[in-house]
Copies of this chain bind each other. A is one copy, B any other.
Amino acid sequence: MLIIHAHPRPSQSRVVKQLLGVLAAQPGAELRSLYELYPDFDIDVEAEQQALLRWQKIIWLTPVHWYSVPSLMKHWIDQVLVLGWAYGQGGDALRGKTCWWVSSAGGAHEAYRPQGLHGRHFADHVAPLAQTVRFCGMQWWPPFVAHGAHATTDAAIAQACAQLRTDCQAFLQAPAPHGDAP
């Protein structure tokens, strides 16, 4: 599997760093940390596309910033998932792969609801990212979200990591959506 990791301030990361530890420990994981590779936002599109071609299972690992991914991850989406490669005529490079957003949100789970601090359920805020993935012919795996990152305890982080370890097995073992080899 391929891990696309994007955290703009890794030294301040508590939760994503732990989640990364869980994912990177999987046998045969390839890790690409975008803020280390491209601190000036100058993405090597060819290298990113080649990495995507190597794997069937893709993970996006980021904190939630403004109900979406951090800006360098959005830049990656804008630059790498281009017409004629990821979608449109001849754009079938990603078809049949599966993509999973693993994230950490500052807000508590309860705040993500109508009338709550964040106005909608988390799943509703995810629509643009889910549709991006689907538009490229990939399967969108239900996101993993560690909620309440700012206030969470070591015990809560450990619990999130245990859950992620389990969920990651299910993600890795799931057959490709169109019956291709995973």
- Give the B-binding residues of A (Cβ under 8 A): 8, 40-41, 65-68, 70-72, 74-75, 77-79, 81, 117-120, 124-125, 127-128, 130-132, 134-135
Contacts and interface: CB of A to CB of B under 8 A. Distances in A.
Please state the number of chain copies in the assembly. 2
A174 B65 CA distance: 30
B119 A66 contact: no
A110 to B, nearest CB: 16
A15 to B, nearest CB: 17
Given A41-B41, A41-B75, A66-B78, 9 more contacts: A40-B40, A65-B78, A66-B77, A66-B132, A71-B75, A71-B79, A119-B130, A120-B131, A128-B128
Contacts of A131: 67, 118-120, 125
